[in-house]
A and B are shown apart, each in its own frame.
Chain A
Amino acid sequence: MKQSLIYLLLFALGVILALFGWIPEVLLKDDISKWILYGLLFFVGIQIGSSKNMFTAVRRFGFKIVLVPVATTVGTFAGVALVSILLPGRSLSDCLSVGAGFAYYSLSSILISEFRGAELGTVALLANIMREFIVLVFTPWMVRYFGKLSPICAGGATTMDTTLPVITKYSGPDYVVVALFHGMIIDFSVPLWVSFFLTL
Chain B
Amino acid sequence: MLNIILIILSGVVVGYFVRKIPQVKYTGTIISLIIMLLLFFLGVSVGTNEQLVKNFSSIGLDALIITFGATLGSVLCAWLIYSTFFKKP
Q: Give A residues with C-beta under 8 Å from B.
A: 3, 6-7, 10-19, 23, 27-28, 33, 36-51, 64, 67-68, 71-72, 74-84, 86-87, 89-90, 95, 98-99, 102, 106-107, 109-111, 113, 118-119, 121-128, 130-131, 134-135, 142, 146-150, 152-154, 156, 188, 191-192, 195-196, 198-199
From residue 2 to 36 of chain B, which have CB atoms closer than 8 A to chain A? 3-5, 7-19, 24, 27-28, 30-32, 34-36
B39 is contacted by which of A7, A51, A111 (Cβ under 8 Å)? A7
Question: CB-nearest residue of chain B relative to A90?
Answer: B62
A150 is contacted by which of B14, B41, B82 (Cβ under 8 Å)? B82
Determine if B1 and A154 form an interchain contact, defined as CB atoms under 8 angstroms apart. Answer: no
Determine if A98 and B63 form an interchain contact, defined as CB atoms under 8 angstroms apart. Answer: yes
A95 is contacted by which of B17, B27, B66, B80 (Cβ under 8 Å)? B66
B44 is contacted by which of A28, A47, A86, A122 (Cβ under 8 Å)? A28
Count of A-B contacts judged by CB separation below 8 Å? 291
Tell me, in angstroms, the Cα distance from A40 to B39 when the chains sit together: 12
A14 is contacted by which of B40, B52, B76, B82 (Cβ under 8 Å)? B40
Determine if A199 and B45 form an interchain contact, defined as CB atoms under 8 angstroms apart. Answer: no
Determine if B86 and A147 form an interchain contact, defined as CB atoms under 8 angstroms apart. Answer: yes
Tell me, in angstroms, the Cα distance from A49 to B1 when the chains sit together: 20
Query: A135-B71, A153-B74 provided; 15 other pairs, C-beta below 8 A?
Result: A16-B47, A43-B31, A46-B24, A68-B78, A71-B80, A75-B70, A83-B68, A98-B63, A99-B69, A142-B75, A147-B79, A153-B77, A156-B74, A188-B8, A192-B8
B63: chain A residues at CB < 8 Å are 98, 122-127, 130
Question: CB-nearest residue of chain A relative to B38?
Answer: A110
Determine if A80 and B73 form an interchain contact, defined as CB atoms under 8 angstroms apart. Answer: yes
Determine if B47 and A45 form an interchain contact, defined as CB atoms under 8 angstroms apart. Answer: no
Question: CB-nearest residue of chain A relative to B15?
Answer: A49
A76: chain B residues at CB < 8 Å are 70, 73-74
Which label, helix, strand, loop or mixed, suits the secondary structure of the B interface? helix
11 CB contacts below 8 A, A to B, read A7-B36, A40-B35, A42-B7, A47-B28, A50-B27, A64-B86, A74-B77, A87-B66, A123-B63, A147-B78, A148-B86
A128: chain B residues at CB < 8 Å are 67
Determine if B1 and A122 form an interchain contact, defined as CB atoms under 8 angstroms apart. Answer: no
Question: CB-nearest residue of chain A relative to B50?
Answer: A19
| Max chain B Cβ within 10 angstroms of own Cβ: one of A33, A81, A89 | A33
Determine if B7 and A38 form an interchain contact, defined as CB atoms under 8 angstroms apart. Answer: yes
Determine if B1 and A28 form an interchain contact, defined as CB atoms under 8 angstroms apart. Answer: no
B40 is contacted by which of A13, A67, A142 (Cβ under 8 Å)? A13
Determine if B87 and A33 form an interchain contact, defined as CB atoms under 8 angstroms apart. Answer: no
